[in-house]
Structure 1
Amino acid sequence: MASLQGAASFKPRYTYIERPYVMHTLVVVSVLILAPCSLGLSSLCDLSDADLRLGGWKVVVDENFAGGELNASLWTGRYSNYTAGHENEAQSYVPGNARIQDGKLVISTKKEKFLNKNYTSAWIDTSGKFEALYGRFCVRANLPGKQPGFWPAHWLMPGRGHEKLCWPGPGEVDIMEMINGDGVVHGSLHYNAMFPETHQCSSPHMSTTGVLPYLSLDQYNTTFHEYAIEWSSESLTYYVDGVKYVSTYPNDRDKDGVPQVPMYIIINSALGGGWAGPPNQDTHFPILHTVDYVRVLQSSGEGKSRAHFTGTTGVDEQAFAPFTQRQADVLHDRAAKRAQ
């Protein structure tokens, strides 16, 4: 493993924030500024199977996006216009905007009208097909440069039996979010402070966010970087290119918020919304979010650790478009023809 050169500082900061919909939210911001020469470090997910076995790890998902189509045994592409409850985003999600090209997943965000929205993008997830409890989740991706309003994400949500609970319920784990292509990585944990004692929507929503800025924004859109979490029964630790930048430890306030239910994987690109803000004249389409691989490792030392392929979905299907895939395909084809 390469040495960590050029590390400028590591400064944890703690700030309490009050919002109308968030009670007693503690945002933990840990900033690790890295010089360009520190990028490209070896990652646990890059090790050989033999080396992983020596360290007590096993590979449970090794998705390299081989072949010409998305692996339907692992992934589902979703249709949705997300008109309510999802940050008031500007896009409709269309499976056709996620394609396999040269051994990589490419999610395209386009300026085109569909389902009463002016933009389309893609959301894929493993709900109903793969869930895991604990492990190391790695996504190696190439993100675009400065794009106002753009919001790519790699994240985890609770699976079967929890899809109807008020968010965040047992928890949401955001492996990576980057807003507007500003070069800042956000890794977050959201949870219901009173779960599982109560599932009420009015329960306090707690969140912890780690922020990792690089010195050069161009590093994100010129090369691939691996965004990862290591999740145990007691903590969550966030990494970029094998470098840890924030963690919830067993003695932290957030120890009780570490999810204890199996979760599925989501990869998507959103546009607009309250956090990213609207696209503008400086937003250039199409915007590409390219993923090289998705890997999940699990440790034999974690007694509760398990990964399984499921038979039923954990997604709340009512949150997605209330029509068949065939109907959606027809609508999208018509929209594409009108745009020509």
Structure 2
Amino acid sequence: MPHHPPPQGSRVYWQPQFLPHVDVSHEWDAKTGHGTDGWGNHELQNYTDQPQNAFHTQDGRLVLRAVANHSASDADQKYTSARLVSKQTLAHDRGVLSAVILSPCAEGIWPAFWLLPQEPFVWPTDGEIDIAETWNGDAENHSCLHWGQHDQPDRHRIRGTRIPDMRQRPVQYDFVWEQPGGEAGRGRMIWYIDGRPVMKATVPAGTRPLRDMTVLLNVAMGGNVCQGKVPREGAYDMVVYAMSMAHEMENGGWGRFEYDWGHPAVREGDTY
């Protein structure tokens, strides 16, 4: 299925430019290190703020590069990658976040495009929204929502979408939200892949306003989600072709959102 370019024109209020002469840090903060308990999942990677792990290309793309170097004598160099957090928040009580991404699909590799509240925050109580993630080369996207207490039931929503040619082409992901007044427990969200709605959810009570959410991009390696599998030696690139935030969707705007919300084929995620 062909992907559509992110929206253009006056509806767009944030659109980072991936220009070779612009440093990645202009729009993004880099998280570094191994994190607590391997970023909570016993992951292998050491996140860096170095240009070999996150950079802009000559043709205007953002690349996050995870590198597995098994022979490195320094343990911090065996697995390096990037984890970027946008300086921009969603900022509005309704809108659409769009990105066109080519994801690395391989055993032991876990790329993600997701949202967390602006720091400081309490996880997962304040909310986490996963727009695009895949692991172990399964060519399946996982749309997810997490909140409340992690060990309590019914605090997660997830829906898998098979994308058989995920390895070969960039995919467009859109996340559309509306939350009147930013009030917790009110509001609606729809996840789209290549223009097709794949999951919907209401905003859970007790979460931070969606306007406070920041965008995260990262490529994790190994750990619990990858079922302990280790990536083979080499580089794994997550390539972001475009990204934007806009006040409404292309091709139908809020009328399209209302139609999709009410369509019986657009379901809420499974709970666990």
Q: Shared topology, TM-score over 0.5?
A: yes
Partner of 2:166, secondary structure, is helix
- State the Cα deviation string for residues 173-218 of structure 1 (Å, max 9, x = none): 111110112110001110117xxxxxxx87767110111003x3xx
- State the Cα deviation string for residues 1-20 of structure 1 (Å, max 9, x = none): xxxxxxxxxxxxxxxxxxxx
In the aligned structure 2, how far is the partner of 1:116 from the partner of 1:63? 30
| Residue in structure 1 matched with residue 193 of structure 2 by the alignment | 240
1:264 and 2:214 matched: yes
Q: Percent identity?
A: 23
Distance of aligned partners of 1:81 and 1:64 in 2 relative to their CA distance in 1, 3 Å threshold: same
| Residue in structure 2 matched with residue 108 of structure 1 by the alignment | 65
1:225 and 2:171 matched: yes
Distance of aligned partners of 1:223 and 1:259 in 2 relative to their CA distance in 1, 3 Å threshold: same
Q: Which moved more, 1:134-143 or 1:263-272?
A: 134-143
CA contact (8 A) 1:87 1:274 kept: yes
- State the Cα deviation string for residues 272-315 of structure 1 (Å, max 9, x = none): 111112344x735111111111111124999xxxxxxxxxxxxx
Residue of 82, 101, 118 corresponding to 1:159: 118
1:64 and 2:17 matched: yes
In the aligned structure 2, how far is the partner of 1:211 from the partner of 1:257? 25
Distance of aligned partners of 1:202 and 1:150 in 2 relative to their CA distance in 1, 3 Å threshold: closer
TM-score (norm 2): 0.76
Partner of 1:63, secondary structure, is coil
Partner of 2:40, secondary structure, is coil
Shift of 1:131: 1.2
Choose 1 or 2 for highest CA Rg. 1
- Count of aligned residue pairs for this structure pair: 234
| Residue in structure 1 matched with residue 88 of structure 2 by the alignment | 130
In the aligned structure 1, how far is the partner of 2:4 from the partner of 2:68? 37
Amino acid at match of 1:185: N
Aligned pairs (5 A) from 1:1-340: 39-42=1-4, 45-46=6-7, 48-49=8-9, 58-84=11-37, 86-96=40-50, 97-101=53-57, 102-112=59-69, 113=72, 116=76, 118-126=78-86, 129-132=87-90, 133=92, 134-145=94-105, 147-160=106-119, 162-163=120-121, 165=122, 167-192=123-148, 206-214=155-163, 216=164, 219-233=165-179, 234-249=187-202, 255-256=204-205, 259-261=208-210, 262-280=212-230, 283-299=232-248
Gaps of 5+ in 1: 1-38, 194-200, 303-340
Amino acid at match of 1:242: G
